[in-house]
Amino acid sequence: MLYSALALSVAAGILGATALGRAASRVGGLPRRAAAAPPVLAYPATMRAPGPWRVGIQAGHWRVEELPDEQHRLRDSTGARYGEFREAELNLEVARRVAGLLRASGAQVDLLPARVPAGYRADAFVSIHADGAARPGARGWKAATPWRASAAARRLREALAGTYPRFTGLPEDRFGTTFYMRGYYAFSPHRYQHAIDPRTPAVILEMGFITVREDREVLLGNPEATALGIAAGIMRFLSGHDPFDRVQMAVTLYPVMRVGVRGAELLSHPREDALHLAELPEGTLVRPLHRENGWFEVMAWGSYRRFGWLSEAALEPLPGG
């Protein structure tokens, strides 16, 4: 059944904002270090042409064999499976429904396969995927922005996080976001021509696990609710989005820093009671990605790359930086 534009507008309007957690401003008594060097606006936003909202909905792994030569190594990335059922079939089914709901609400929608047009620009881009369980107890959905995300991209993720579970009833896989989700090829214009423009607010969504019975019953049994949860989140985002706000769409690039204290804790969220991910040795190099209330989200180098949150007080600029 195709939901009307009115039904979608009402559904999106009645949903209250879901808090994703308040970042703590206290830094645990660590000594205050020199202030970080100011960020650089790596991709300042440009003006948008007037007209209806434009949204890109990508069905993950759909027509993956058509990826361009620069991404030929990804052509065998066919996604998760459950028996003979391929993830791409579900992704396309849900993506088509989402596109229909958004078009009924007046948006211009591009239903995209795995191949992304070079430098693709839109008011929102959502890549739809489903997962396969690779760890015991895995369940639920997860969503991620690109590594270097604009404020608008983070708001898009928050909007989806506020609607998707309400329509599907699925839990959030809070600690399942992977390094590769954030570095999704469609988010990588520094590596590929066929990727989105970094000023396009973008999220990759893993709807749930097709290899887990409880998730599969929702995803395959009620794709209408799954699609409505995604479409309502996008509409919620667009309802508060100012396409002429250059600050919200700009992507910042912070300089490399290093850990300046012993025993710096890398945490899952910007608060002191968050899950402990690792202890970073003094001198570890990190790339700050986002700054929030006394915390930095960072990518850390070491025996292997990690990402998480560090207290701002645990970091210092590189000498001469």
CATH of residue 314:
2.30.30.40
Q: Does the structure show a pLDDT above 80 at 136? A: no
Same domain, 291 and 146: no
Mean pLDDT of 285-307: 87
Provide the number of structural domains found in the chain: 2
Amino acid identity at 3? Y
Question: How confident is residue 128, by pLDDT bands cut at 50, 70 and 90?
Answer: very high
Mean pLDDT of 96-111: 97
Percent pLDDT > 90 in the chain is: 67
Question: How confident is residue 8, by pLDDT bands cut at 50, 70 and 90?
Answer: very low
Query: Is residue 206, in this structure, part of any structural domain at all?
Result: yes
* pTM for this model (two decimals): 0.81
Q: Output the pLDDT for position 50.
A: 66
Do 312 and 296 touch, CB atoms closer than 8 A?
yes
Mean pLDDT over all residues of the chain?
Answer: 85
Mean pLDDT of 50-72: 95
pLDDT digits (tens, 9 = 90+) for 163-218: 999 999 999 997 788 878 999 999 999 899 999 998 899 999 999 999 999 999 99
Q: Does the structure show a pLDDT above 50 at 30? A: no
Query: Is residue 75, in this structure, part of any structural domain at all?
Result: yes
Task: Note the residue count of the chain.
Answer: 321
Query: Is residue 48, in this structure, part of any structural domain at all?
Result: no
Mean pLDDT of 6-28: 34
Q: Output the pLDDT for position 21.
A: 29
Query: Is residue 44, in this structure, part of any structural domain at all?
Result: no
Task: Identify which has the larger pLDDT, 320 or 197.
Answer: 197
**Sign, Cα dihedral of 78, 80, 83, 85:** negative
Q: Output the pLDDT for position 71.
A: 98
Same domain, 104 and 241: yes
Question: How confident is residue 251, by pLDDT bands cut at 50, 70 and 90?
Answer: confident
Query: What's 91's domain CATH number?
Result: 3.40.630.40
Q: Output the pLDDT for position 253.
A: 87
Phi-psi region of 193 (alpha: psi -120 to 50; beta: other; left: phi over 0): alpha
Per DSSP (E only), the strands in the chain are 40-43, 54-59, 81-82, 85-86, 108-112, 124-131, 142-144, 202-209, 251-253, 257-259, 264-267, 276-280, 285-292, 295-300, 306-311, 315-317
Same domain, 225 and 284: no
Same domain, 283 and 198: no
- In our burial notation (b when 16+ CB lie closer than 10 A, e otherwise), range 289-308 reads bbeeeebbbbbbeeeeebbb
Same domain, 157 and 223: yes
Query: Cα 282 to the chain's mean position, in Å?
Result: 30
Q: What is the DSSP string of 241-278?
A: --TT-HHHH-EEEPPPEEE-STTEEEESSSSTTSPEEE
Q: Which of 247, 262, 286 corresponds to the end of one domain?
A: 247
Same domain, 237 and 314: no
Q: Output the pLDDT for position 303.
A: 62
Q: Output the pLDDT for position 47.
A: 56
Domain membership of residue 313 as a residue range: 21-39+254-321
